[in-house]
Amino acid sequence: MRKLVAALLIAVPFGVFALAGCTANDGAKGEGCEVTRIVLVRTGGDVNTLDAYIFEPDPSLTHVSLAPDTDLSHVEEESPWPEEEGLSRERLPISEADWQGVVGVVGEVGFMDLPEVLKVSDLALDAPSYYINVKTTEGSHESGGYAAGFGSDDPNERFGKLHETLSDVIAKSTPQGEK
């Protein structure tokens, strides 16, 4: 009987901490159990391309780029990217520390609580549009918009911090150091 009570006294706190970690994820409310994918999409500005950077926990980074004037009407979120001449894909390894750093910033800025559409009240001319989608084992959330992260309000500053972190990892991982 003593062994059973001792085992329960040890097991219960570990179970509570495991469940708390699942819902709290480093103290960030609503972040989910585990981040399974982060996608940064850049389109517009002075370049007529769509660039997607897909971060995965294996850890890796895939850069997908559609050439100017590619017909985007058939590209859907759940469908595969079109197989055509205007598409390029490049898969690059990233370090485990970079993946964990990005996941940490997702929680730190409270990304899952950001509004879906960020509005920029500051004057921004010919800026690109940025969108970030974070997928977890409990769901996903997307935030962004025209000149997202350029504004001086709290949601834009939080978005900007995550965008900057993602851009830093991209710059370290790509041969050209592109952002």
The 3 state secondary structure assigned to the chain is: CHHHHHHHHHHHHHHHHHHHHHHHCCCCCCCCCCEEEEEEEEEECCCCCEEEEEEECCCEEEEEEECCCCCCCCCCCCCCCCCCCCEEEEEEECCHHHHHHHHHHHHHCCHHHCCCECCCCCCCCCCEEEEEEEEECCEEEEEEEECCCCCCCHHHHHHHHHHHHHHHHHHHHCCCCCC
pTM: 0.72
- Average of per-residue pLDDT across 125-133: 87
Per residue in 75-105, pLDDT (tens digit) is: 544 455 555 556 778 888 899 999 999 999 9
Residue 72, pLDDT score? 55
Residue 16, pLDDT score? 32
Per residue in 9-23, pLDDT (tens digit) is: 333 333 333 333 333
Average pLDDT, the chain: 75
Residue 155, pLDDT score? 95
Residue type (1 letter), 94: I
- Average of per-residue pLDDT across 106-113: 96
- % of the chain exceeding 70 in pLDDT: 63
